[in-house]
Amino acid sequence: MAQKRILLIIGGGIAAYKSLFLIRELAGRGIKSRVIITKGGTQFVTPLSAASLSGDTVYTDLWDLTAEAEMGHIELSRSADLIVVAPATADIMAKATQGIAGDLATTTLLATDKPVLYAPAMNVRMYEHPATQRNMAQLKSDGALFVGPDAGEMACGEFGEGRMAEPAAIADAIEAALNAAPRPLTGRRVVITAGPTREPIDPVRYLSNHSSGKQGYAIAEALEELGAHVTLISGPTALQTPDGVTRVDIETAQQMMDAVERALPADIFLGVAAVADWRPAQNGKVKIKKSGGGASDLKLVENPDILKSVCDHVKRPELVIGFAAETNDVLDHAKAKLARKGCDWIMANDVSGDVMGGDHNTMIWVTKDATEMWPKMRKADAAHRLSKKIAEYFE
């Protein structure tokens, strides 16, 4: 197996001295470290110490032309299997959350296509501050990994959470991250619609369909597992939000359309939702009475076609996937739909059986010049198979 290598960013905190032990700990486990030290970090540890322990050049300055000539900062950001930020200060995490790239460390974090592991270290109040907590939640939702912090006595004399994890614990987390299943969609943004929509007739009634949302949720989960940043725009379902997925709840097709607009841009769009094609023209504030005859002349107007709008959008994602639920001539309808909507792939399925609400699906993958019949399988398995295809597309 090729030797594993990490890029260690040492931030400006007293815990920086522990990162020197981390380099040694990793070397003992056969993992090489290449080191960047921030300006603040150099106040606590010297580049010479890090260079001696890592046996490699230590990088500190984005504008260092000699280093830039040897290895550009973009190349540096991709030269390792994993980026580790230890200590991860409140400042560096805030900048990474915002995509601010004013120095070598933050530029590297913005430019990398590799997973990032943060080992936070700071004063307990800084750690507990809503800004830091918000930033960490955002980084997690963007796919970052975390180890620590621990609780205990701090260098500043206060007591609480914020001590950087011990080098052995960080090394364990690094090994786990290096051995984890590959996440080929890291950094890719996905917007996916799922479930039914509800179109109100009056304050107590609505038009809807039997979609359970199971297939869409399973796909959202499978794509997240491959590292994608997934926004799931969901009609009413009884399902739990998959871990790591950002869910936006809507009821009507128009609300789904608006939520999709807000979630763009993205690399991948999947329209899995069973969007109601029509909605009642009037949606009065007063319940329609049986005696009034109001229901007998219920007028319907057409809903926006979300999938088509995404295909025609100025921010059209690179890969747009539609779903086609048919009860007859499935393949012919799917091919026609692919052309009509202008999407890249259609996942077609026959819903004449118990597909809606059931746990199994039989799908056909349809592109402009290929089709692939998939056998009947669990919706979760179909989701993994489709996610693998998407990852291959972006290879």
Query: Which of these segments, 100-108, 243-251, 303-311, 356-364, binds ligand C5P (CB under 6 A)?
Result: 303-311
Cβ-based nearer residue to ligand C5P, 180 or 336: 336
User: Is residue 171 at the binding interface for ligand C5P, with CB under 6 A as the rule?
Assistant: no
Gap between the Cα atoms of 18 and 245, Å rounded: 34
Q: Report, in Å, the least distance between residue 196 CB and ligand C5P.
A: 11
Residues 189-208 touching ligand C5P, rule: CB under 6 A, are 193
**Which residue of 142, 251, 267, 277 would you call a contact of ligand C5P, by CB under 6 A?**
277
Q: Report, in Å, the least distance between residue 216 CB and ligand C5P.
A: 9
Q: Report, in Å, the least distance between residue 327 CB and ligand C5P.
A: 12
**Which residue of 10, 82, 306, 320 would you call a contact of ligand C5P, by CB under 6 A?**
306
Cβ-based nearer residue to ligand C5P, 141 or 254: 254
Stretch (H or E) spanning 76: helix 73-77
Determine contact, residues 103/63, Cβ cutoff 8 Å. Answer: no
Q: Measured on CA atoms in the order 199, 201, 203, 209, is the torsion positive or negative?
A: negative
Determine contact, residues 369/387, Cβ cutoff 8 Å. Answer: no
Gap between the Cα atoms of 102 and 354, Å rounded: 55
Q: Report, in Å, the least distance between residue 224 CB and ligand C5P.
A: 20
Closest CA to 60 of 105, 121, 7: 105
Cβ-based nearer residue to ligand C5P, 88 or 275: 275
Closest CA to 276 of 245, 301, 303, 315: 303
Residues 326-345 touching ligand C5P, rule: CB under 6 A, are 337
| CA terminus-to-terminus distance, the chain | 22
Nearest-5° angle of CA 381, CA 140, CA 131? 155
Across-strand partners of 194? 234
H helix runs in 313-378, sequence order: 330-341
User: Is residue 271 at the binding interface for ligand C5P, with CB under 6 A as the rule?
Assistant: yes
Cβ-based nearer residue to ligand C5P, 91 or 344: 344
User: Is residue 311 at the binding interface for ligand C5P, with CB under 6 A as the rule?
Assistant: no
Residues 241-260 touching ligand C5P, rule: CB under 6 A, are 253
Cβ-based nearer residue to ligand C5P, 226 or 321: 321
Closest CA to 9 of 175, 94, 100, 120: 120
Cβ-based nearer residue to ligand C5P, 68 or 277: 277
Active site residue 156: yes
Q: Report, in Å, the least distance between residue 341 CB and ligand C5P.
A: 6
User: Is residue 322 at the binding interface for ligand C5P, with CB under 6 A as the rule?
Assistant: yes
Q: Determine the size of the site formed for ligand C5P (CB under 6 A).
A: 15
Across-strand partners of 59? 36
Catalytic choice (71, 74, 156, 373): 156
Max distance between CA atoms of the chain, in angstroms, equals 88
Query: Which of these segments, 85-93, 302-310, 355-363, 386-394, binds ligand C5P (CB under 6 A)?
Result: 302-310
Q: What is the DSSP letter of 33?
A: E
User: Is residue 366 at the binding interface for ligand C5P, with CB under 6 A as the rule?
Assistant: no
Q: Report, in Å, the least distance between residue 363 CB and ligand C5P.
A: 12
Amino acid (1-letter code) at residue 137:
A
Cβ-based nearer residue to ligand C5P, 12 or 271: 271
Contacts of 75 (CB under 8 A, 6+ apart): none
**Which residue of 82, 119, 275, 330 would you call a contact of ligand C5P, by CB under 6 A?**
275
Helix, coil or strand: residue 205? strand
User: What CA–CA distances, in Å, run from 317 to 146, 214, 332?
Assistant: 30, 24, 25
Closest CA to 359 of 387, 378, 384: 378
Q: Looking at the annotation, which residues are catalytic?
A: 156
Please report, as ranges, the residues that interact with ligand C5P according to CB under 6 A: 193, 253, 271-273, 275, 277, 303, 305-307, 322-324, 337
